[in-house]
Chain A
Amino acid sequence: GDSVTQMEGPVTLSEEAFLTINCTYTATGYPSLFWYVQYPGEGLQLLLKATKADDKGSNKGFEATYRKETTSFHLEKGSVQVSDSAVYFCALSGSNYKLTFGKGTLLTVNP
C-alpha cells in the first residue's frame, strides 16, 4: 500500500538558517503530493502541493519538488523565521480516497 516516510524530528534551527525536511514515498501509479503545516493547538493547513513529476510547489518561501526518479518531495526554505515553528506533515493522495501522511516533523526556530 501507499506509505510516506519523513525525517524524524525534532529539528531545531536558528532564525535565518536553511531548512530541509526530507520526505520519500511509496505508491502505485502517479500520486499527488502535499505538505501540510500544523501550528500549536490548530488543525492542519495546506502549505503546498504538486500533482505530477517535476512540479514544484511553493508558498510562503517554502518549496518542494516532486521527484519521481527518487520518489521524494523534500521541503525546503532558505531562511526560516521564529513564526515557522510548527509540525510539518508530508502526505500523498494515491489511487483511492485516502490521504496518507508521514508521522510529522516538529520544527523549532530560535531567535
Chain B
Amino acid sequence: DVKVTQSSRYLVKRTGEKVFLECVQDMDHENMFWYRQDPGLGLRLIYFSYDVKMKEKGDIPEGYSVSREKKERFSLILESASTNQTSMYLCASRTGTGYSNQPQHFGDGTRLSIL
C-alpha cells in the first residue's frame, strides 16, 4: 500500500512565524500535491510538483511556497503565517506523468492553527 506521511497531525504557530509542513511518500511517485481543506470550501490545490525541483502553482498559492529537493519529500512553507492560514493541510502523491488515470493517495492531514 502507498504510504503518505505528514510530519505533524496538529500544529500551533504564531502570526508572522515561518512554518514548514513536511510530507514523505514511500512509493517513488513522480507527482506530489498540497491542498488545504476548509469548511464550505472543500479542497483547494495550493501547489504541486511533477518532478524533483519542479513546482507549479495551484489555485491558491499566495502566501505559500514549496520545496522538493528529493523525490520522496515535498515541503509546504508558510513564509509569514497569518490567521487566515489556519486550516487542515493535506498532502497527496500520484504516479504517472501528465494526465493519468491513477488516483492520488493522501496523508492523514495536518491541522494547523495560527494564533
Interface residue total, chain B, C-beta cutoff 8 A: 27
Interchain nearest-CB distance for B26 vs A (Å) = 15
What is the minimal beta-carbon distance from B38 to any residue of chain A, in angstroms?
11
Which residues on the B side are within 8 Å of A49 (C-beta)? 101, 103
Q: Say if the beta carbon of A110 comes within 8 Å of chain B.
A: no
Quick one: given A93-B101, A95-B99, A97-B98, are A44 and B48 in contact (CB under 8 Å)?
A: no
Bitwise interface map of A from 75 to 111 toward B, beta carbon under 8 Å scored 1, else 0: 0000000000000010001111111011110000000
Q: Contact between A43 and B43 (Cβ–Cβ < 8 Å)?
A: no
Tell me the minimal C-beta distance from B9 to chain A in angstroms: 8
Contact, CB under 8 Å: A99 / B104: yes
Please give the residue numbers on chain A whose beta carbons come within 8 Å of chain B beta carbons, in ascending order: 32, 34, 36, 42-46, 49, 51, 89, 93-99, 101-104
